[in-house]
Amino acid sequence: MTSLRLDDFTLDEVRELYGQHTADTGQRFIPQAVEYAYALTMGQPWLVNALAYEIVHRMKVPTTTITGDHVDQAAERIIVTRETHLDSLLDRLHDPRVRRIIEPILAGAEVRFDPFSDDLAYTTDLGLVRRTAATVEIANPVYRNVITRVLANGLFDGVIGAPGRLEFPAW
């Protein structure tokens, strides 16, 4: 079976894409904002576009200059609202093939997988992970943030405490 996946944008392609917005509107992404958007998304096409859309259309940033702070706010808004794209990826976390790849990565293990692993191919095709020269990691910081939040949801239910002090319910 052949899977088709749109390649991630390079930093130069993100610069060009955001530059098109500047040419069309005069609203400029400062270089640090573009670099930060790339660092958060690792060029994942949906995320690159979603960040810009969130900033321009939903946050309606009134200034002519878009900064890293705007990118940070947009990323948090996308994560918290679990946009459809993110939600559909998160549904995959229940799949045992995905869990076998994701869980060791999140546990902080240096993960090396058989390059012919069907589980690895599947999670790579989904865009959840990416291979580096030596290991496998979550595809980008936005996905890592969302996955971690979802898996930790409910983890601390029943834990009561004030800052600096935890009280566990009696068992």
Q: Where are the beta strands (DSSP E) in the chain?
A: 28-29, 65-66, 129-131, 136-138, 160-162, 165-167
Say yes or no to pLDDT of 168 above 60. no
pLDDT for res 163: 53
- Provide the 10 A C-beta neighbour count for residue 78: 23
pLDDT grade, residue 146 (50/70/90)?
confident
The least confident of 86-100, 118-132, 149-163 is 149-163
Query: What are the distances in angstroms from CA 70 to CA 29, 60, 104, 110, 168?
Result: 10, 10, 33, 33, 39
Q: Domain boundaries in the chain?
A: 11-81, 87-151
The residue ranking higher by pLDDT, 99 or 110, is 99
Model's pTM, two decimal places? 0.80
The alpha-carbon radius of gyration of the chain (Å, integer) is: 19
The share of the chain scoring above pLDDT 90, in percent, equals 48
**CATH class of residue range 87-151:** mainly alpha
Q: In degrees to the nearest 10, what's the CA dihedral of 147, 149, 153, 159?
A: 140
